[in-house]
Amino acid sequence: MDIHFHNIMQRLEAVLREKKNKEKILNKELASELGLTPDYYAVIKKRGKVPYLSLALFAQKEHINLNWLLLGSPPKRICKGSPKIP
């Protein structure tokens, strides 16, 4: 399986739509959830650069399976007792 920025962000958007009960998630909201500035998010989006550390921290905070976020491999959620990222 290939890891593509666009596919990862679609999955992240799905999580945020569910979390915020919104139909549309803006790029600035994606950036904020990942702890990135909107300008930096725009740069990595254009380049297709995956922000792995930001995604890992988001996945940990939201109890999302990082394999699902990166690759689309189920399950989507993990149990809340999972180990923390140091």
Q: In 10 A of CB 78, how many CB atoms? A: 16
Instruction: Give the pLDDT confidence score for residue 69 in this predicted structure.
Output: 95
pLDDT digits (tens, 9 = 90+) for 14-40: 999 999 999 999 999 999 999 999 999
49's tokens: 């650069």
CB 53 within 8 A of CB 36: no
Q: What is the pTM of this model?
A: 0.85
Q: How far apart are CA 82 and CA 7, in angstroms?
A: 25
pLDDT band at 47 (very low <50, low <70, confident <90, very high): very high
CB 76 within 8 A of CB 64: yes
The full set of domain ranges for the chain reads 5-71
Instruction: Give the pLDDT confidence score for residue 82 in this predicted structure.
Output: 52
More confident residue, 81 or 70: 70
Instruction: Give the pLDDT confidence score for residue 76 in this predicted structure.
Output: 82
Q: How far apart are CA 45 and CA 70, in angstroms?
A: 15
